[in-house]
Structure 1
Amino acid sequence: MRADYLFTSESVSEGHPDKVSDQISDAIVDLFLSKDPQARVACETLTTTQKVVIAGEIRGEGIMDTEGNWAPGVEQEIEDTVRGVVRDIGYEQDGFHWKTLDFQNNLHPQSAHIAQGVDAGESKDEGAGDQGIMFGFACDETPDLMPATLYYSHKILERMAADRHSGKAPFLEPDTKSQVTLRFRDGKPAAATAIVVSTQHAPGYDEGAKEAELHNYVKGVIADVIPRELLTNETVYHINPTGSFEIGGPDGDAGLTGRKIIVDTYGGAAPHGGGAFSGKDPTKVDRSAAYVTRYLAKNVVAAGLARRCTIQIAYAIGVSQPLSLYVDTHGTGTVADEKLEAAIAKVAADRLGGLTPRGIREGLSLNKPIYRKTAAYGHFGRTASGDDFPWEKTDLVDALKAAAA
């Protein structure tokens, strides 16, 4: 890696139209997993002016039979769940209101051909829900072992959303974006050169004293979130650079599930295999394998075995064992990368039951309704608590140190 450079990452708030879609899709996953922990879900969501459409394929006891007939009451639960997500985000606008929007449900039974490849049988273990490559990453730039540019982009928006919900910043509306550019020296964050925040706002906050109030508020959030030593007299602030931002959310731009995968992962600081996470049950390795590779990479860095770690894993649909495991510590490792690969494989086998879809799901306890919380402000760099974000734990440190010795 270069020692001195500029790098930028962006984040979007829970009210961004694509994130509204992600949260709806994951709320449906949670609803179905709460009914059947073995449910199969692939739920896509479209949001636009006064409309939410969901589509995809599902299977599960107490949800829908193979002929496409809903279990009693489930259709209403789905609609109530969708409206509840929109309400919780805070959309009560003429162009997008949780109570009056038009809702369409186009979910249907899972393909029998997909099911036969994924389900376990007498002669085979549960197979991967699709082919694909997944990446996990960790670095020592922040306490949560995440890239600093993305970490601070998320934190700015989380703080603004909390202030909006509490009433501290009543002029804010749900749709917001942030972007942080940092200068790195010797591979470490040294200065914030540019910070962008575009936030939907109440009428009148685009001129005069009210505009100044909004700008000062945003700068105050930035000063609270970003370490003081990174902010200098040369830091450039772009706050609502286009001027007015009253029309936002799905009324301003249509949203789709899975369009913010770089925001969801590492802000461009690491590769992404291409598959989205939200709306998918954990048999889909797009999701579960991305979680386990983050888990392993984070533990490698937490163990002091590297300052940066990228892990890739690959699967074929219907096949349980991964096709490959690749580790790159970017020249920061304290042991050879190939030795670390062997250590990771051993620890995964001992602690998770392997890197098969079943091993990952059971080892990380992923068959639980824990996914809606992941769908805004990143799937990684979050606090593991109870059942939530188990892939953020650092409980493999000692095992990895021993296996890599």
Structure 2
Amino acid sequence: MRSNYLFTSESVSEGHPDKVSDQISDAIVDLMLAKDPESRVACETMTTTQRVILSGEIRCAPMYDEANEAWAVNGGWAPGAKEEIEKAVRSTVRDIGYEQDGFHWKTLTFENHLHGQSSEIAQGVDASGNKDEGAGDQGIMFGFACDETPDLMPAPLDYSHKILEQLAEDRKSGKAPFLEPDAKSQLSLRYEDGKPVACTAVVVSTQHGKGYDEGEKEAELKAYVKEVVTAILPEGWLSDATEWHINPTGAFEIGGPDGDAGLTGRKIIVDTYGGAAPHGGGAFSGKDPTKVDRSAAYITRYMAKNIVAAGLASRCTIQLAYAIGVSKPLSLYVDTHGTGTVSDEQLETALAGIEKLGGLTPRGIRTHLGLNKAIYRKSAAYGHFGRTADGDHFPWERTDLVDDLKAAVG
């Protein structure tokens, strides 16, 4: 690994069109899991000017009219189910803050093209006879942690998220009424001896009210953004040499789905580690936790974070691989990038042997982390990782595996 370099990561706000789509998809996941913890959901959302379109497949007994033999007969929806789904969509858009002519929670056109889960997919996933529940798909998943921030996350992404979270908080509280929901941030950090020491460039583009692209109003917006960034970054990281690019293109009044179409799953690097670690390629939002794209990515983050929290490494990458319909992972790989206090092979053996992890099967993961709950919409903006474990939310951020790991490696 290089010791001295520049590295950049970006984040996008909850009002970014792709993130609007992610949050809607996860609102549907939460709706189904609240009704049936064994629900199967694969919900894709497209957002554009004054329109939200859902597609995908679900299996949720309370939402399905059993009097129909197939979803294709008339949609298969139990009475009131379609109305509940639409309500969840509109309330999500309202909570984000969209009440604009081009995208308004109350007046947007809504289309629901969800249908029942494929029986051929179900037969691979469901437990039957002597067959344990299998993974919902093949694939590889990565988890990562490092000691660059208190959240054990890569610093450029972690602070990029926090900048946008603060903008959203100030917008909703009324402290910054000139802000609108869509925004992006990006930080370039200088590393020395492998540690971040300075911010060389800040990029923030935020949607704004009318007139905040010129004169005193523009100056007010830029001064506010600088104040937020300065308060969030560690002391000493900003200097006269730092480049600032705040709304560099000029006016940004048209934003969100009205400015650009949004799709579920297009911000997988923002959702994970900002490019500082590998990504297996699968998105998270809109998927129930039988989909290992989601649950295995969470357990690999959990294991990597606990390894770093235990002081067994300052940087850790973990990979798992699965086959559809097969419960046991095909491989487990640990790489501490030369920072480990014990060998990577010892850590692999330790993780494989910790009983509470349930053999890292899909059901074992969900049972240990408590994933069959309506906890996902909160994860769909500002990153799935580096968040605070709070009650049922973000259980993969707990560090309760530290003692088990220390005991396992002696």
The answer to whether the superposition gives a TM-score over 0.5 is yes
In structure 2, what is the Cα distance between the partners aligned to 1:311 and 1:72? 45
Q: Is 1:5 the equivalent of 2:5?
A: yes
Cross-structure match for 2:31: 31
For the pair 1:126 / 2:129, whether they are aligned, the reply is no
Please name the residue that 1:272 is paired with: 279
Aligned sequence identity (%): 76
Match of 1:374 in 2: 379
Residue 137 of structure 1 aligns to which amino acid in structure 2? F
> In the alignment, residue 406 of structure 2 is paired with which amino acid?
K
Matched to 1:375, the amino acid is A
**Whole-angstrom distance in 2 between the partners of 1:351 and 1:196:** 43
- For residues 270-306 of structure 1, the C-alpha deviation after alignment (integer angstroms, 9 at most, x for no partner) is 0000000000000000000000000000000000000
Match for residue 365 of structure 2 among 360, 367, 381? 360
Task: Name the counterpart of 1:329.
Answer: 336
Equivalences for 1:328-347 in 2 at 5 Å? 328-347=335-354
The match for 2:205 is 198
Partners of 2:200 and 2:40 lie apart in 1 by 45
Q: What SS does the aligned partner of 2:378 have?
A: helix
SS for the counterpart of 2:236 is helix
Structure 2: which amino acid aligns with 1:23? Q
Structure 2 counterpart of 1:106: 113
Tell me the distance in 2 between the aligned counterparts of 1:311 and 1:59. Answer: 31
C-alpha displacement at 1:402, in angstroms? 1.0
**2:394 is equivalent to residue 389 of structure 1:** yes
Task: Tell me the alpha carbon deviations over residues 244-288 of structure 1, each in whole angstroms, 9 at most, x when there is no partner.
Answer: 100000000000000000000000000000000000000000000
How many residues align? The count is 403
Query: Which one of the candidate residues 207, 212, 222 is aligned to 1:215?
Result: 222
1:80 aligned partner: 87
Equivalent-residue separation in structure 2 for 1:79 and 1:60 (angstroms) = 16
Match of 1:181, SS?
strand
Secondary structure at the counterpart of residue 293 of structure 2: helix
Alignment pair present for 1:289 and 2:292: no
Q: Distance in 1 between matches of 2:345 and 2:291?
A: 27
Shift of 1:353: 1.7
- Distance across 1 between alignment mates of 2:63 and 2:232: 43
- Partner amino acid, structure 2, of 1:119: D
Shift of 1:63: 1.2
Q: Which secondary structure does the structure 1 equivalent of 2:167 belong to?
A: helix
Q: Does 1:140 align with 2:147?
A: yes
Alignment-mate amino acid for residue 404 of structure 2: A
Q: Distance in 2 between matches of 1:203 and 1:25?
A: 31
> What's the counterpart of residue 20 of structure 2?
20
SS of the residue corresponding to residue 135 of structure 2 reads coil
Q: Match of 2:63?
A: 63
* 2:226 equivalent to 1:184: no
The answer to whether the aligner puts 1:173 opposite 2:177 as a matched pair is no
* 1:348-399 CA-partner distances (Å, limit 9, x unpaired): xx11222000100111110000000000000000000110000000001011
The Cα shift of 1:79 comes to 0.3
* Aligned residue among 259, 263, 266 for 1:259: 266
The one-letter amino acid of 2:261's match is A
Could you say what the CA RMSD is over the residues aligned between the two structures, in angstroms? 0.6
Pairwise CA distance, 1:71: 1.3
Question: d(CA) in 1 for partners of 2:146 and 2:87?
Answer: 40
Letter in 2 for 1:400: L
CA drift of 1:54 comes to 0.3
1:16-45 superposed Cα distances (whole Å, 9 cap, x missing partner): 000000000000000000000000000000
Corresponding letter in the other structure for 1:396:
L
Deviations along 1:313-350, whole A, 9 cap, x unmatched? Answer: 00000000000000000010001111111011112xx1
DSSP-derived class of the 1:353 partner: helix
Distance 1:99 1:299 in 2: 44
Matched, 1:51 2:54: no
Please give the secondary structure, in 2, of the residue aligned with 1:343: helix
In the TM superposition, what whole-angstrom CA distance separates every residue of 1:72-98 from its partner, at most 9, and x where no partner exists?
111100000000000000000000000
Q: CA deviation at 1:404?
A: 1.2
Q: CA deviation at 1:228?
A: 1.5
Give the deviation of 1:229 after TM superposition: 1.6
Task: Select which of 79, 87, 97 maps to 1:90.
Answer: 97
1:157 and 1:400 map into 2 onto residues whose CA distance is 35
SS of residue paired to 1:400: helix
Task: Tell me the CA shift for residue 123 of structure 1.
Answer: 1.6
TM-score normalized with structure 2 length? 0.98
**1:71 and 1:37 mapped to 2: Cα distance?**
18
- Structure 1 unaligned regions, length at least 5: none
Partners of 2:336 and 2:61 lie apart in 1 by 44
Task: Give the match for residue 404 of structure 1.
Answer: 409
Q: Distance in 2 between matches of 1:232 and 1:328?
A: 35
Could you tell me which amino acid in structure 2 is paired with residue 5 of structure 1? Y
Query: Is 2:233 the partner of 1:226?
Result: yes
Q: Distance in 1 between matches of 2:161 and 2:60?
A: 34
Cα deviation 1:88-135 (Å, max 9, x = unaligned) = 000000000000000000000000000000000112100000000000
How many angstroms apart in 1 are the aligned matches of 2:210 and 2:235?
A: 32
Offset at residue 233 of structure 1 (A): 1.4
